[in-house]
Chain A
Amino acid sequence: NAGVTQTPKFQVLKTGQSMTLQCAQDMNHNSMYWYRQDPGMGLRLIYYSASEGTTDKGEVPNGYNVSRLNKREFSLRLESAAPSQTSVYFCASRGGSAGRGTDTQYFGPGTRLTVL
């Protein structure tokens, strides 16, 4: 099992450019999440999908959109990148078919995004 995979690992954009960060999990998890990590700020939730077909805003959704393409894949799109979106982005997944609160949340390796 690969767990949670993310592409790309690194990306440099110019202000105003768009891009999509890809995330996939092979653990048959129901829930998937996108976080951003900035120095001193910890992990902040951008969007999440509690199950296939649903998405919800997290703490910092402005400037982002998401798509839960199927149970495996959850993408994050920046329509018009801004320097404030320079960050490390982590995708995570959690919860099998029983979906218990005790389920572990698994993280991908992250995407380092720089917006110039």
Chain B
Amino acid sequence: AQSVTQPDIHITVSEGASLELRCNYSYGATPYLFWYVQSPGQGLQLLLKYFSGDTLVQGIKGFEAEFKRSQSSFNLRKPSVHWSDAAEYFCAVGAGRNTPLVFGKGTRLSVIA
């Protein structure tokens, strides 16, 4: 069965600094990988997804993520964080069509001035 680990429960960064959120997955075959963002009191919104091809994927709001098969990782990055990026971020892995995504426990991002 697939699983996802987000090692960092809470990260604080300064506005304008770069950001990297870590995600490690466990799955035997080629995974489908997703990053979602949840603002306070809201549902989850897709940031980006990877399923094949170029291992660096671009998403919304200036985010990108890189798939590294050798490290079983799919880390999320942003070159310059804005205060509005403060939210909770979830990494997820999917096995195939119509199967439930498995989510990590999330990383809460705080942004300070």
Minimum CB–CB distance from B53 to chain A (whole Å) comes to 11
Chain A residues, Cβ within 8 Å of B19 = none
Question: What is the count of residue pairs linking A and B with beta-carbon distances less than 8 angstroms?
Answer: 67
Q: How large is the interface on A (under 10, 10 to 19, 20 to 34, 35 or more residues)?
A: 20 to 34
Q: For residues 79 through 113 of chain A, which have their beta carbon under 8 Å from a beta carbon of chain B? A: 90, 92, 94-95, 98-110
Number of B residues whose C-beta is below 8 Å from A? 26
B100 with A48: CB separation less than 8 A:
yes
Question: Is A40 close to B, CB under 8 A?
Answer: yes
Minimum CB–CB distance from B87 to chain A (whole Å) comes to 14
A101 with B97: CB separation less than 8 A:
yes
Chain B residues, Cβ within 8 Å of A51 = 98
Question: Is B9 close to A, CB under 8 A?
Answer: yes
Minimum CB–CB distance from A108 to chain B (whole Å) comes to 6
Chain B residues, Cβ within 8 Å of A33 = 100
A107-B51 CB under 8 A given contacts A100-B97, A101-B99: no
Known A51-B98, A109-B43; 16 more pairs at CB < 8 Å:
A4-B43, A35-B103, A40-B105, A42-B90, A43-B44, A43-B103, A43-B106, A48-B100, A92-B44, A94-B98, A100-B97, A101-B32, A101-B51, A101-B96, A102-B32, A105-B46
13 contacts between A and B (CB under 8 A): A4-B43, A30-B98, A31-B98, A33-B100, A40-B9, A42-B103, A48-B100, A101-B96, A102-B32, A105-B92, A105-B94, A105-B101, A107-B45
